[in-house]
Structure 1
């Protein structure tokens, strides 16, 4: 999954976000409706101005349509500062009550020149292996 936030035609403020989810069989308990996933996020500043990730917002949805929102400062306890051409990678996790679900979200970014913008993260699928064709 790959998404890009572009703030103007000059692409001064441009962040790419890639997400790779993984099902964690050893932490899941399907008999009790516990499906655990990790997801590795790579954030790249492909713009012209350095930026800092200020906060995150995730919406986690299971196959029953149950939504859970997560908001907080930074990611994994950090507010990474990304110079042009630099990136940051982290891994986190989510739990849902069904074998399939999805996540979507956004990062609030603040450029060094004081401009704030939102980097949208397009929906991606959380799926236990062999549940989707």
Structure 2
């Protein structure tokens, strides 16, 4: 969202384009003042942020620690048993990263090249599970956070903002968690937590994968385990590239190997350009086994006509013990 990346003046005042009715011009309105990003430590609940890649406004709910498996980082030391995650790759020493669960300003959602929702299972009722979605929820790496401050008591438009946070002028940041947020986090911790992040770059196209376990749907005949995976593609080069096809291979612990091919992703063939270099989407996969692996490629076409297969880093699908039903915020 280019309009949120316009920074004017030495005082680092942040502006956003505000569309006026249906006319083709826009005006600038002050949103807040930028702060220096933290090179160490964590951001607190209630911190207002801009996303470095997608440019949206958001607020931090709480942090997570995740293991990052980066296949682009060379290993210069002898491997030990703890360094290997079978079928997934090597864990880089010292690369445990902080990620944040973030509420996104709903005014920015239409302009983000990403699916902005988190999906989880509801409770087990009569041998079936239901899904619910929380719109405008994202996981953001620490290095993608640009903090800012605002003098507004309601700087963010999201249906859960007032339920989760309250204004306290004596605190920094001035938005503090309510009991609703603490209870929701505690109740849904197993369903909201991310543990592994996988990265790999091919021909200047960086692919990041974050898998989430969603739960198990049980019946008299079998059990079906479900996962959600979030994928971000980012163009690190100078030439525009378009995603044309996907090719997945899905291995289940039950011994099956499935191949999936198709045009684009989620009904789109996104272009990654210098002005819009990133695209993020989520999808789902199910297995009739409690674990498995996924890997594959994206067929990419560069603006000069060159085509290549961009590797999707292999990642494991691991189930978790059922800690009881996940519940939506009340």
Structure-2-length-normalised TM-score: 0.36
Pair 1:81-2:278 in alignment:
no
Alignment of 1:91-130 (within 5 A): 91-129=282-320
Considering fraction of residues, name the structure with more strand.
Answer: 1
Pair 1:60-2:250 in alignment:
yes
Q: Deviations over 1:27-80 (max 9, x none)?
A: x22562200111000000011210000000000111122111110000000000
Count of equivalent residues = 121
Residues in 2 aligned to 1:65 and 1:86: alpha-carbon distance in whole angstroms: 38
Deviation at 1:21, TM superposition (A): 0.7
The equivalent residue for 1:5 is 202
Structure-1-length-normalised TM-score: 0.86
Residues in 2 aligned to 1:71 and 1:86: alpha-carbon distance in whole angstroms: 24
Give the number of the structure with larger relative contact order, counting CA–CA contacts within 8 Å between residues 6 or more apart: 1
The equivalent residue for 2:132 is none
CA RMSD of aligned residues (A): 1.3
The equivalent residue for 2:232 is 42
Q: Which blocks of at least 5 consecutive residues in structure 2 are unaligned?
A: 1-197, 322-330
Residues in 2 aligned to 1:65 and 1:2: alpha-carbon distance in whole angstroms: 26
Residues in 2 aligned to 1:79 and 1:98: alpha-carbon distance in whole angstroms: 32
